[in-house]
Structure formats: structure tokens, C-alpha cells
Structure 1
């Protein structure tokens, strides 16, 4: 575009020069003098404007005429004016802040990010980012931290108080009665076994034989032992014990109540509770040492990590899980006007601070881009961008001069 304009301007100047020379040596009618005056004035106007346009960028014809090559000589002033205009007027802090205030930044950012998640590149990025985050988890440190926290938590427990609370829950929920019934049922199952019955009979018979009562008592015992063999004696003892167990199953049985009172009295005794708490504390420390809690926690975390990676590798991971969660979160934020206003205010405040701290870099950036060009390159760029329009000044000068010359010739004729 610049070369075409320069060509047009040169042609206009050549036309004016040729017209002036052509009419200079022609004697003729009045219209020739009109043309001559027009071409003369057009040539003067074109030359003057050529000089003015050229003087902006360089010395005309290479002659160092004063007040020419204005831009190279005033490069610093031009650069400073350009920087100030852009930094203080076109891109001032207030103008940037006011423009950003008109844009709902948070909702646009959130909705834009949510909309991009459905693209293949975004899905790949989410999977890659999730995988990287999972693999970067410091499992050894987490296991060590977890082991220390568990130990600290268990060490901080008041086992005696915990035992009291546990007993209270046992009494309230009737677990003591259920345990007692379980013990009765277990005892009944053992007593019902034939080998247990026979064993009890043999033990009773042996005891009777070893008993030395003397007199009639010894005679009666020997007669009793001779009448009952081991099996009968065991069955008798078995039935006696089963009858006793049946009685203990009744909630209102006095023997049952006595046994339960004795058990409660022993468990509620502070001294016994203290002894139990000490035993529990020893057992707790031994269990933690033998269990190797840190290794167990590390194994658990490694399993969870492997499961998390398998979950991330699923084809529907982004579509079925990430996108719905993100969309739900975005909708909740956008529907909550109070939260959205707070986020907008916070974001604009941060942007305003960033602009305040970095606004001067706009001028620095412009200055750096200008300074990286030498004078010749900078002049060439400026001529390429605005030289085309300036060349039309030359064309307009030639044409306007031509018309003014004709008018002046007419005035001369009228005045003469």
C-alpha cells in the first residue's frame, strides 16, 4: 500500500512538472496560461509537500538541511510520547480496571473451564493431572505421620475412664446379661457331651473311693459307690448341673442375681478397674509394637493409590465423574449470588493489585520493543505503516496547487 501511494504521489509530481514545462514554451490562447499557472502552482505544492513528508523521516536528497529528519533526531521524544500515550491514556490503570469491572470474570472463567472439559485434549489433561497428583503423594511420609498420630491418640486415651464408660454401655444395653447367657449355653454344650459326662462320673467315683469317712458313713458310701457305676454317676452329676444351668437362665432366679451382683461388684471396684486399665495399657503398647502400624498403614495407602489410579484410567472417569462434579460446583457458585459477588470482588481486588504493581511494565515493554530497532529499521516500519497516508499529502498538494494556480491566473486576468 505504501509503495502504491508513493508511486501515485511521484506520478502527480511528474505530471505537474511536465505540464509546466510543456506549457512554458507555448504561446497561445488564454486557457494555456490558465494551465501553465495551474501546473506551476501544482508543481510548487507537490515539491513543498514532498519536502515536508520526506523531512519527517530523513534529510531530503541527503542534504542535512536544518529541521529535517525530524523523527530520527527526536526518537527519544517520540518514544517517550508513545509510551506515555499508551500507558497513561489508552491503557491507564483506571481504564483497565473499569473495563474489567464490566465483565463477570468469575462466572465466565468457571463456565468456560467447565465447557472445555468435554474436549478430548481437556479430558487427556485431566487424566494426566490426576495421575500425576496421585503418584506424587508421599505415601511413606503419610504412613509415618498416620502412625505417629494413631499412637498419640491412643496414648492420650484415659483407659480407666474409657473402661467405666464401656461398662456403663454394657450395663445399659444388657450386654452383661447376654454374655452370661452365652457362658451358660457354652457350659451346657460342654456338659451335654458324653465324654464330659463319663469323665465327671469317673472323677466322682474316684473321689468316693478315696474318701475315708469311717463307720456307718463309710459303709453307706461304699454301698452308694457299688450301686452307681461311672456312667450313672456321671449322668446324675450331668443332670444336676443342667438343672442348675436352667435355673440360672431365669432373669428372676436368686442365684443368677447373686452371680450378676458379684460380677458387677468386682467390675465396678476402682482397684480392679485400675488393674484392668494397667493390663490394657500394657496390651495396647505391645499390640502397637507387634502390629508394625507404619508398615500396615503404608500397605493400605499403596492399595488405595493403586485403586485410585485404576479409577482414573477408566474411560468414563472424566465424563461420568469429573464433569458432573465440576458442573454441579459451577452451578452452585453461579446460583449463589452472595458467594459470586464475594469471589468477583476478591478477584477484581487481586487484579487491581497486580495492575498497580505491574502497570509500569507496559511502558517498559513498549520501550524495549522500540529500542530493539535501529533508526533505519524504525523509519522503515513507520513509513510502511503511515507513509502511505502521508504520500497522499503530496498528491493533494499537487492537485490543490493546480486548482489554486488556475484561480490565481483568473484573478490576474481580471485584475489586468
Structure 2
């Protein structure tokens, strides 16, 4: 049952009780009960009138009634001051903030409330939005001169020299030499090499025979195919033996390779050629277009290259925060200090907001708003008024009755 219905029922019972107990004799019980109902009726009616006088004009009486409407300005300012200076004062707000362990709350949110995923996705979305607003053409044009300057500053010649130094080290030189030997074994078996070998054999045979019949007679026992096959087999044998680490050919071959690399390392013409090639390549590279394509397709686009790296970085930082009490304390202190600064700076907005909110409401709307917030409590005042009035009325009736009898004695 609604509180208003309970209050109305209590008043109705009181009125009916007064009517029902009127003229029921002069017994102590009947008189006491009658005065209790009478006092309850008076108290209930008084409280009903008082409650109604706050929000309107009960029974059409205008004197000292309709309190909210007549005193709107004063009441509003009182509400504003109470809300901003007492209920939501700077001290009360910061007392609540200081009691909270914000660092632990952040850990709870990040670990068990889906905060990690939301934070990472929000950061990625923000960066995507920022990247989408980038003027690719302007940025590439601005960056191109610096990239070209960086290319010119690349120590390509020094890096190549360091690479040659590495190649002269024993394990690397052995591997490179063996790679060259395997390439040689594959090369001598190719059709191109065999054709070239036969051409050279035929040329040498022609030159060697000349006009000598004896030479021609001797060489007639060996055709070009036999000589090519023999030379191929001999080359394969030499190359395979050179792959054996302890073989003389292997040692001499590795040493020859090292000597060649060392001589190449000290050849200034090589570095000049490398420098010219670097300059030539840089001059013919359209750096601006490359940067524009990179920004459009790799920084923007549907799958920016930086997204996995950003997610990995954020996950690392979140893990560090979760497992670091000092970081949590720093975050807690930083957020509380920030809250204190913001409260100090913008506390006046509370009063302005409440005042503006109340000013937007008409008199009827404000009355309805206030009544809706305190309606239940006000109806309980009516109920309690009837109950208290009943007990007070009965108590006074008993006191008067006993006093009269004692006086009569």
C-alpha cells in the first residue's frame, strides 16, 4: 500500500473512531479511547494541512500556504548552498576520493573487468583516427629531404668493409669457399658449360693441328666428346677434393679466397664505385612517392603495420603496472592529486549546475520534482502524527481523569 493511502487510512480510522466512540458512556476506557481518536484526528488533520501547505493551498487557504511557490528563490538558493557547500563540499568530495584505493581499483578493472581489452582497443582506435587525418602528400613531401639526407649519410662503404672483414674469418671463409665449390660442381654439369667447353676444345684442336700431319694423326684417336668428358671428370675430381678440409687444395683455395677479399678490402676504387652507386641509386629513387605509398597503405589502410606493436607495448606496460605496487601507488596519488586540482578549479560549477537545473523547471515542475523526492517521508509524518496524537490524547485523557478524581477526593 502506498504511504499516502496509509496516511489517509489512518486519518479516516481516526475520524470514524471519534464518531464511533462519541456518547458511549462515561467509562474510563471509552473516554480514553474517544480522546485518543480525537487527538489522532486533530494531529492527522494538522499534519495533512501542513504537508499540503508546502506544495499548494489546502482548502483554498492562501495565507502562509503554497510555501514552495512563494519562496522559490530562497528555497532554491538554500538547496544550492546545501548541495555545494555542505553535501558536495570540497572536503566531503576529497574525503570520499581519499578513502578509495584507486590503484587497486584500476588493477581490478584491467584484470577482471575487461579493462585491458577496452583500453588497448580505445588506444588503437584513437591512433587510427589520428593516422586517418594525416595529410599523406604533405607529410611525405616534408619528410623526403630528411630521408634523402639520411640515405646519403648511410655508411654503406664502411659497412661493406666490415662485411669483408667478417668474410676473412676462418669459419666464414670455409663456408663461402665450399659454397663456391658446390656452385662450380653444378656449373660444370650444365649444358651451357659443356657446349662452351666443346667449342674451346675444337678451337684449340684446330690451332694445335695446324699443317702438321703427325699432330692431326695423334689427335685423331681422341674426339671432342672424349676430351670434354675427360676434362669434366678431372674438374669434378679436383673440385670434390677441394671440399675436404684437410686437403691441400682446400687450404690453398681458402687462403686464396682470403687473400682476394683482403686485396678487395684495400682497393680504394671499390669504395669509390660503391659511393657512386649509392649516389646514383638515391638520385633515381622517388622517395616522396615511396613515403606517400607507405603512409597510405601501411600506416593507414585496413591493416596498419604498427597495430601489433602498439598492442604488444600496451600489454607489456599493463602487465608492469599490474605487478608493480609502486606504479599503482603512483597512479593512485596522481589521480587523487588530479581530482583535487579539478575539484578546486571547478567546484563552483556544482552550484551553477544545480541552479541552472532548477531554473529550467517551472513552478509546477519544481513542486512536482520536490514532492516526488520527499513524498514518502511526508506521508509518514502524517501517519506518525495520527499515531502520536492518539497516544498523547489517551495519555492526557488519563491524566485529566485521574487528576479530577484525585481532586474530587
Same fold (TM over 0.5): yes
- The answer to whether the aligner puts 1:273 opposite 2:271 as a matched pair is yes
Paired residues in the alignment total: 374
* 1:400 aligned residue: 392
Q: Which of the pair has more CA radius of gyration?
A: 1
* 1:385 aligned residue: 376
Q: CA offsets, 1:299-339, max 9 Å, x none?
A: 9859x96799xxx9xxxxxxxxx9xx97x986754432112
Task: Work out whether residues 41 and 402 of structure 1, in 8 Å CA contact, stay in contact via their aligned partners in 2.
Answer: no
Q: CA offsets, 1:139-159, max 9 Å, x none?
A: 9959x96x9687665443133
Aligned pairs (5 A) from 1:3-402: 3-9=5-11, 11-12=13-14, 15-16=17-18, 38=35, 42=39, 46=43, 52=50, 54-59=52-57, 61-65=59-63, 67-112=64-109, 114-117=111-114, 153-172=150-169, 190=188, 195-207=195-207, 222=212, 225-226=215-216, 228-229=218-219, 250=249, 261=259, 264-265=262-263, 267-283=265-281, 288=285, 301=298, 333-368=321-356, 370-371=358-359, 372-375=361-364, 377-378=368-369, 380-381=371-372, 384-391=375-382, 392-393=384-385, 396-397=388-389, 399-401=391-393
* 1:215 aligned residue: none
Unaligned stretches of 5+ residues in structure 1: 211-220, 313-321
Task: Work out whether residues 57 and 70 of structure 1, in 8 Å CA contact, stay in contact via their aligned partners in 2.
Answer: yes
Query: Is the partner of 1:64 in helix, strand or coil?
Result: coil
Q: Give, in whole Å, the separation in 1 of the partners of 2:98 and 2:333.
A: 9
Q: Give, in whole Å, the separation in 2 of the partners of 1:230 and 1:333.
A: 89
Task: Work out whether residues 35 and 393 of structure 2, in 8 Å CA contact, stay in contact via their aligned partners in 1.
Answer: yes
Task: Work out whether residues 55 and 69 of structure 2, in 8 Å CA contact, stay in contact via their aligned partners in 1.
Answer: yes
How big is the shift at 1:409? 5.8
Task: Work out whether residues 13 and 398 of structure 1, in 8 Å CA contact, stay in contact via their aligned partners in 2.
Answer: no
Unaligned stretches of 5+ residues in structure 2: none
Task: Work out whether residues 2 and 388 of structure 1, in 8 Å CA contact, stay in contact via their aligned partners in 2.
Answer: yes
Superposed CA RMSD in Å reads 5.9
Q: Give, in whole Å, the separation in 2 of the partners of 1:364 and 1:37.
A: 54
Q: Give, in whole Å, the separation in 1 of the partners of 2:29 and 2:379.
A: 33
Q: TM-score, normalised on structure 1?
A: 0.61
Task: Work out whether residues 163 and 277 of structure 1, in 8 Å CA contact, stay in contact via their aligned partners in 2.
Answer: no
Q: CA offsets, 1:118-143, max 9 Å, x none?
A: 9xxx99x999989989997759959x
Task: Work out whether residues 34 and 405 of structure 1, in 8 Å CA contact, stay in contact via their aligned partners in 2.
Answer: yes
Q: Give, in whole Å, the separation in 1 of the partners of 2:184 and 2:37.
A: 138
Q: Give, in whole Å, the separation in 2 of the partners of 1:165 and 1:83.
A: 78
Distance 1:249 1:3, change over 3 A: same
Q: CA offsets, 1:235-266, max 9 Å, x none?
A: 59969x9699999974776x997896576435
Q: CA offsets, 1:368-396, max 9 Å, x none?
A: 55442524535753673333133232553
Distance 1:78 1:9, change over 3 A: farther
Distance 1:38 1:276, change over 3 A: closer
Q: TM-score, normalised on structure 2?
A: 0.62
